Amino acid sequence: MIDTRAKVGLAFLVVFLLGAAAGALGLSVYLRRAEPTSQAVWTGRFNRERYIRELTEAVQLQPDQMGQLNAALDETREDFLGLRKRLQPQFDEVKQRARRRIRSILNADQQPRFEAFLARWDEERRREESAASQSKASERKP
């Protein structure tokens, strides 16, 4: 059998290792929350203000270049909007095909809940797009 001294030593070692693991986990969580900007995560939205700020810092843009930069960004936004408008029917068809496939796997009880879900989902997307289009004018800062 293991004597008392060995048991105490083993218990001390286990407690020490658990403390080290808890500390490492705590540090990991803290660093993730403390520096969220260090993680490059694409949200699907172009942040013009951030782009201009970081580009200005990265390449040392001069104030007289800002007008040309804003013009280029405005033109690019218009090009993207035009492209989106032309491709939207194709995206809608893909979305409708996916919804038809989902409907085909649902039972009769699930069908109305799916339709209610889609109504909420589509309304939320419309609100987001409306808010984004309303904020387009306020995005551009001289």
Angle, nearest 10°, between helix axes 110-139 and 66-105? 180
> Tokens at residue 86, please?
């032309």
- As a whole number of angstroms, the distance between CA 84 and CA 74 comes to 15
Give pLDDT, residue 137. 52
Q: What is the pLDDT along the chain (142 residues), one digit of tens a residue?
A: 678 888 888 899 999 999 999 999 888 888 877 755 544 555 667 889 999 999 999 999 999 999 999 999 999 999 999 998 999 999 999 999 999 999 999 999 999 999 999 999 999 988 887 877 776 555 554 4
How is residue 118 written in tokens?
Answer: 């889609």
Q: Are 50 and 73 in contact (CB under 8 A)?
A: no
What per-residue confidence (pLDDT) applies to 30?
82
